[in-house]
């Protein structure tokens, strides 16, 4: 509270807080605008540097040139140019015409080949390009301003509090004033304080996260505008669904990484086996028709197994078939290698693709389900249970005067938070009895002073029910006493009747005798 009061007294802080919402909400919009301008100026070749192209020339030896005529000789002499952007700036050729011309060229040994040179053509609309660059500079300045505002607010608001909290945890003291007093009394501790405090200030993960957009904006202004693409990731902070996606991946990152490491180990074993027994089957096709070996060394075989086997979902995509139509004619070692390659490809697909990769996907999907169930449970608890006492909505609606009234008036959680902040900011020498008791429990991280399954409104109902119960018990007791008196009277009456019957029987017996 005192730190917040000191900040509120600063005019700069009040200015920052007035623009906090605008700075936080405008970053993604500015990043989207900057990237749209970047796409526009690069796609339409509106840059001041011009439009990049490739100059490719097919050339022949002198002996081949003298024997060629017509189109064959022109294909050796012509300079074919095609551009890499979406607009055809040069009318001499296009990529398709270049390929057609090169295909018409003869392939005699005297043909040397062709080479390519990067270049650039002038922009057709330089004024529009300059206007777009100025606009991007303005947008970049606003991005730097918004990221600076957000970063400064977090640093001023949380930096000092983080330092105090970390020092109290390291020293074991409950008040930061005691830490400052120790710093003044000990030179060694003062040196330690000066060295460690910057680490406490700048080791905040959120501070590092907020500083990354600022660094990217500065690099976009000073180095290249392509850095603006990193600001688009700010959409994660705007979408709860994307945050849940990140949580689903990050909360089980250890299991995912260990599964991926195990997958790489399995792929490495397959690469060793392929290198030892089937290295001649691994090959890739280069343009136009050249076939290159893909398992000339163990490292190349391992890299290709990762690239083609995992990315292409099948290690057989870069393995040449061993005459599958002539299996009946194969014999001996060739037949064994044919079936070995078949088993090799099938087991790789089953173990790596069907099992291990799906295990990774299953972990992520299960994380989504677990996260959804957890969020639903939290939402249900927030909507149907009191945060302070934990009494459910039904009990409070039927016996406590209503759940909304209870959480707003009787057990308002923000009032409890204000009480805790009040006790932390108040001088301990000015505590009264209950404040000292609660402060001691907070220092021990004990929240036993919170009412558990109890509330004043419920106490009134409970007292009324107890009173009714006592009244009912009294009525039952009085009824039991009456029943006991009646039972005693009946017993006495039975005794009298028994005596009378005895005398009557005795008289009747005497008369009979």
Quick one: 231 and 104 in the same domain? Answer: no
User: Looking at 313, 334, 368, which one is the last position of a domain?
Assistant: 368
Please report the pLDDT score of residue 138 as a whole number: 92
Quick one: 17 and 152 in the same domain? Answer: yes
Quick one: 154 and 227 in the same domain? Answer: yes
Question: Is 400 inside any structural domain?
Answer: no
48/123 Cα distance (integer angstroms):
7
DSSP state of 91: S
Quick one: 152 and 9 in the same domain? Answer: yes
Contact 283, 318 (CB under 8 A): yes
Quick one: 140 and 102 in the same domain? Answer: no
Quick one: 262 and 363 in the same domain? Answer: yes
Element (H, E) at 291: strand 290-293
Q: Write the CA distances from 416 to 447, 457, 513, integer angstroms.
A: 11, 18, 98
**Helices 11-18, 126-171: inter-axial angle, 10-degree rounding:** 120
Residue 63, both tokens: 């002996």
The domain of 8 spans 2-34+128-168+212-238
∠ at Cα 49 (45, 51), nearest 5°? 35
Task: Supply the DSSP string of 96-127, one letter for each residue.
Answer: HHHHHHHHHS---TTEEEEEEEEEEE--S-HH
Residue 423, both tokens: 């006790």
Question: Is 68 inside any structural domain?
Answer: yes
pLDDT per residue of the chain (513 residues) written in tens, 0 to 9 = 567 777 777 788 888 888 888 888 888 889 999 999 888 877 666 555 555 544 444 444 444 444 444 444 444 443 333 333 333 333 334 444 544 544 554 444 333 444 344 444 455 566 777 788 888 889 999 999 999 998 888 888 888 888 888 888 888 877 788 888 888 888 888 888 888 888 888 888 888 888 999 999 999 988 888 899 998 988 888 888 888 888 877 888 888 889 889 999 999 999 998 888 888 888 776 545 556 777 888 888 888 888 888 877 778 777 777 665 555 555 666 777 878 888 888 999 898 888 888 888 888 888 888 888 888 888 889 889 988 888 888 888 887 778 888 888 888 889 988 888 888 888 888 888 888 998 888 888 888 888 888 887 777 777 777 888 888 888 888 888 888 888 888 888 888 888 878 887 777 777 776
DSSP state of 67: H
Quick one: 141 and 25 in the same domain? Answer: yes
Residue 254, both tokens: 């250890």
Q: Where are the alpha helices (DSSP H) in 172-239?
A: 176-185, 187-202, 205-222, 235-238
Question: Is 16 inside any structural domain?
Answer: yes
* Strand ordering across the sheet containing 79-83: 79-83, 51-60, 111-121
Task: Supply the DSSP string of 128-184, one letter for each residue.
Answer: HHHHHHHHHHHHHHHHHHHHHHHHHHHHHHHHHHHHHHHHHHHH--S-HHHHHHHHH
Query: pTM above 0.85?
Result: no
- Residue showing tokens 């830490």: 179
Quick one: 138 and 234 in the same domain? Answer: yes
Quick one: 117 and 132 in the same domain? Answer: no
User: Looking at 121, 144, 179, which one is the last position of a domain?
Assistant: 121
Quick one: 74 and 219 in the same domain? Answer: no
SS3 472: helix
SS3 316: helix
User: Looking at 335, 368, 401, which one is the last position of a domain?
Assistant: 368
321/336 Cα distance (integer angstroms):
13
Quick one: 110 and 224 in the same domain? Answer: no
Quick one: 219 and 103 in the same domain? Answer: no
| Tally of domains within the chain | 3
């Amino acid at each position: 509270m005192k730190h917040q009061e000191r900040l509120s007294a600063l005019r700069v802080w009040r200015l920052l807080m007035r623009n906090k919402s605008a700075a936080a909400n405008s970053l993604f919009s500015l990043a989207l605008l900057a990237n749209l301008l970047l796409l526009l100026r690069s796609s339409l070749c509106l840059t001041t540097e011009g439009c990049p192209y490739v100059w490719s020339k097919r050339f022949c030896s002198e002996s081949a040139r003298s024997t060629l005529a017509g189109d064959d000789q022109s294909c050796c002499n012509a300079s074919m140019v095609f551009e890499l952007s979406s607009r055809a700036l040069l009318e001499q050729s296009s990529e398709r015409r270049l390929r057609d011309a090169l295909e018409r060229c003869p392939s005699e040994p005297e043909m040397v080949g062709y080479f390519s040179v990067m270049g650039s053509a002038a922009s057709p609309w330089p004024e529009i390009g300059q206007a777009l660059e100025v606009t991007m500079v303005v947008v970049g300045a606003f991005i730097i301003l918004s990221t600076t505002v957000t970063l400064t607010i977090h640093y001023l608001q949380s930096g000092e509090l983080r330092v105090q909290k970390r020092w109290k945890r390291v020293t074991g003291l409950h008040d930061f004033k005691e830490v400052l007093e120790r710093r003044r009394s000990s030179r060694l501790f003062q040196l330690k304080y000066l060295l460690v405090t910057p680490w406490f200030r700048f080791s905040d993960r959120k501070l590092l996260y907020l500083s990354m957009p600022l660094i990217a904006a500065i690099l976009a202004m000073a180095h290249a505008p392509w850095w603006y693409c990193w600001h688009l990731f700010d959409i994660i902070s705007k979408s709860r669904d994307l945050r849940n996606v990140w949580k689903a991946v990050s909360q089980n990152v250890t299991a995912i990484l260990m599964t991926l490491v195990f997958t790489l180990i399995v792929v490495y074993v397959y690469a060793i086996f392929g290198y030892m027994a089937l290295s001649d089957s691994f090959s890739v096709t280069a343009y136009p028709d050249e076939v290159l070996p893909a398992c000339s060394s163990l490292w190349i075989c391992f890299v290709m197994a990762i690239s083609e086997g995992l990315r292409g979902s099948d290690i057989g995509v870069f393995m040449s078939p061993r005459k599958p139509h002539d299996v009946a004619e194969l014999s001996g070692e060739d037949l064994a290698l044919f079936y070995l390659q078949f088993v090799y490809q099938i087991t790789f697909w089953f173990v790596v693709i069907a099992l291990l990769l799906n295990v990774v996907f299953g972990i992520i999907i299960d994380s989504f389900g677990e996260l959804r169930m957890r969020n639903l449970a939290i939402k249900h608890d927030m909507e149907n249970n009191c945060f302070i006492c934990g009494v459910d909505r039904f009990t409070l609606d039927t016996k406590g005067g209503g759940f909304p009234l209870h959480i707003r008036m009787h057990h308002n959680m923000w009032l409890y938070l204000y009480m805790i902040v009040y006790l932390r900011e108040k001088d301990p020498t000015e505590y009264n009895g209950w404040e000292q008791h609660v402060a001691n429990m907070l220092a021990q991280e004990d929240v036993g002073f919170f009412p558990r399954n109890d509330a004043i409104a419920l106490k009134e109902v409970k007292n009324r029910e107890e009173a009714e119960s006592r009244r009912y018990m009294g009525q039952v007791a009085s009824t039991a006493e009456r029943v006991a008196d009646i039972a005693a009277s009946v017993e006495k009456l039975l005794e009298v009747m028994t005596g009378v019957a005895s005398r009557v029987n005795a008289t009747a017996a005497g008369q009979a005798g």
